[in-house]
């Protein structure tokens, strides 16, 4: 595996992911698992764990 000099940030993470998790948790009392892999703004797929 080669080292990647760029910092990758998930596209729309703060807006869609957290808002949706909060809505589902407050409505049904359930929280979905966080995604295992996210797509970054440049299109790279990165693991979250």
Q: How many domains does the chain have?
A: 1
Give residue 38's domain range: 13-47
Q: Is residue 20 part of a domain?
A: yes
Q: Is residue 7 part of a domain?
A: no
- If you average pLDDT over every residue of the chain, what do you get? 73
* Angle, CA 32 vertex, CA 28 and CA 34 arms, to 5°: 150
Question: pLDDT tens digit string along 15-35?
Answer: 566 777 778 788 888 776 777
Which positions ≥6 away from 10 have C-beta within 8 Å?
Answer: 17, 38, 39, 40, 41, 46
pTM of the model: 0.35
Q: Is residue 27 part of a domain?
A: yes
Q: Is residue 30 part of a domain?
A: yes
Q: Is residue 26 part of a domain?
A: yes
Distance CA 32, CA 15 (A): 16
Q: Is residue 18 part of a domain?
A: yes
Q: Is residue 1 part of a domain?
A: no
């Amino acid at each position: 595996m080669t080292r990647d000099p760029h910092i990758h940030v998930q596209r729309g993470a703060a807006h869609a992911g957290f808002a949706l998790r909060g809505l589902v948790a407050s409505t049904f009392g359930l929280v979905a698992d966080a995604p295992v892999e996210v797509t970054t703004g440049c299109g790279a797929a990165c693991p979250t764990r």
